[in-house]
Amino acid sequence: MQTHLSAASVTLALAVMAVSVPNTSLVVQARPMHADIVHIYHRYLEEKENVSSELDKWLTKYGPKGPKNGWIPVTESRSTEDELEDQRQRFYLTMQQIYEAREANPGATFGVDGPFTLMTMEEFKQYLANYHTKEEEQSNTPEPTTKKTKKPATDAPKTLSEGSGSPTTDSKDNKNDNNNDEKTYAPATEGPQVVPAIRRRLVVYNGSTCIASHCSTDAGPNIPTGAGASTGSSYCSACNEGSKTKGSGNSSSSAGLQGQCGSCWAFATVGAVEAAQCIAGGGKSAPVYSKQQLVSCDTKDFGCNGGAPVYAMQYIQDNGICTESSYPYASQEGGTAPSCAASCTPTKPGIKSIEKITPGDESALIAALQKQPIIASVSSDNTMWKQYMSGVITSCNTVTVDHAVLVVGYDDTSFKIKNSWGTDWGEDGYVRVSRSKQNMGTCAVLTDMSYPQL
């Protein structure tokens, strides 16, 4: 059988030969371990001492949590020194990516003080590969015949009608080890036009309590998104004037940590339902709901292999949902979903309908945000999201829409987004992206938007 060598393998081999000690058979210990570093290897050697110092700081902070959350890639068996050298080179490659991200985004800060610094871009993309699945994605089975409705003249979102059309079978692997239920997708048809909901009294979500706001319902959003804004607190409406305190520790007021499980769809869905119920309660205390129940029990989605928030909202509407304390999140490590447990008592939060916002319609998103946070899909498999620390992302690769998030606010120039990568990432787990009507918005934030109507 003929042996095939990749171009990267040949390049690395030549690079190793290039640093061989002349007239001997010995090879210098330091050598390129990644194809991307070969052409800048001489610069790496010059900066290696500084890289080692910065890497030590990173390992002190993220090393203990790295293996559990999948932040430190597992490589082939090698010596301790080789493993450390591999990490140094990974760190240096990320530094080069940061320089490029800064040039494209002068209003944002990117740095190595983040959980994904030791991942190559290929590994980061693989880490995100199964995060999010749009509801209209189909298997290789024939697509159903659907009737497309005309786009309405108004900016009103669409209602997703339950049970409309014939579902098609998806061919993805089962999400649970002991669950062989058939997975189905509903056809991506547009529902009938709905009458916009009457605007409720706007409230602020501060910790575990919704507090009534006294700002005008017609005044627009007042949530601060600049550098001085509170990024640790969540809120129940776009009118967030006076709410500057950080979350009280309640998991719905701080960004959750999905870990190695591709469950962003569950975190975004639960966050949207909690916020909607907070508003519907008129300022009452809001419960914290279980993400694990969706990951393990929602058979229309794929657990740790991704899912569609619209289907997750349908599951909650039909079956109810348990509290976080009665069904805590258990998929952070290992990237697998335990079998569905029946040990908790679900309650129905009162979802009347599931609203879809027309893709690309920023005005409709703004109007919806004046009522409640909105689930959105973004393109996150890029350096901008990988190494984001603060500020506003203005330029973002949008090749793949791969991640579900919760848009929680906006101002004249940006949207504020709650992520599910923990508080070590970004602005205490939040990110801001610039407002733009081009190419489905910055980072494709206008591609796929939905929310529960209570």
By the 8 A CB rule, do 296 and 258 touch? no
Q: Comparing C-alpha atoms, which of 259, 256, 265 is closest to residue 71?
A: 259
Mutual angle of helices 80-104 and 41-62, in 10-degree steps: 100
pTM to 2 decimals? 0.74
**Nearest-CA neighbor of 112 among 125, 127, 99, 103?**
99
Structure tokens at 407: 């848009």
Residue 18 belongs to what H/E stretch? Answer: helix 7-18
- The question of whether 344 is a catalytic residue gets the answer no
Per-residue pLDDT of the chain (454 residues; tens, 9 = 90+): 444 444 444 444 444 444 443 443 334 456 888 999 999 999 999 999 999 999 999 999 999 988 888 899 877 667 889 999 999 999 999 999 999 999 999 999 999 999 999 999 999 998 887 666 666 553 333 333 333 333 333 333 333 333 333 322 233 343 444 443 433 333 222 322 322 332 323 333 333 344 333 232 333 333 444 544 433 333 443 333 223 322 222 334 578 999 999 999 999 999 999 999 998 887 667 789 999 999 999 999 999 999 999 999 999 999 999 999 999 999 998 888 999 998 899 999 999 999 999 999 999 999 999 999 999 999 999 999 999 999 999 999 878 899 999 999 999 999 999 999 999 999 999 999 999 988 899 999 999 999 999 9
What distance in Å separates the CA atoms of residue 425 and residue 405, rounded to the nearest whole number?
Answer: 14
Residue 293: exposure state from Cβ atoms within 10 A (0-12, 13-18, ≥19): buried
What pLDDT score was predicted for residue 288? 94
Q: Which of 250, 340, 403, 443 is catalytic?
A: 403
Cα dihedral: 410, 414, 416, 420 (round 10) = 150
Tokens of 448: 């796929």
- CA–CA dist 49, 43 (Å, integer): 12
Is 322 noted as a catalytic residue in this protein? no
Mark whether 39 is an active-site residue: no
Looking only at the bridges linking them, the beta strands covering 388-393 and 430-434 are parallel
What does the block give as tokens for 217?
A: 């319902």
* Cβ atoms within 10 Å of 53's Cβ, excluding its own: 9
pLDDT the model gives residue 253: 56
Do 379 and 346 meet the contact criterion of CB atoms below 8 Å apart? no
Pairing verdict, β 403-410 and 184-185: unpaired
Catalytic hit among 210, 239, 261, 264:
264
Q: Which residues of 127-154 are buried (b: 16+ CB within 10 A; e: fewer)?
A: bbebbbbbbeebeeeeeeeeeeeeeeee
Region at 118 (left for phi over 0; alpha for psi -120 to 50; beta for the rest): alpha
- Cα–Cα distance measured from residue 408 to residue 370, given in angstroms and rounded to the nearest whole number: 10
Provide the residue ranges of all domains of the chain, joining segments of one domain with +: 35-127
**Do 208 and 253 meet the contact criterion of CB atoms below 8 Å apart?**
yes
DSSP notation for 362-402: HHHHHHHHTTS-EEEEE---SHHHHTEEEEEE-----S---
pLDDT, residue 301, reads 95
**64 vs 2: CA distance, rounded Å:** 44
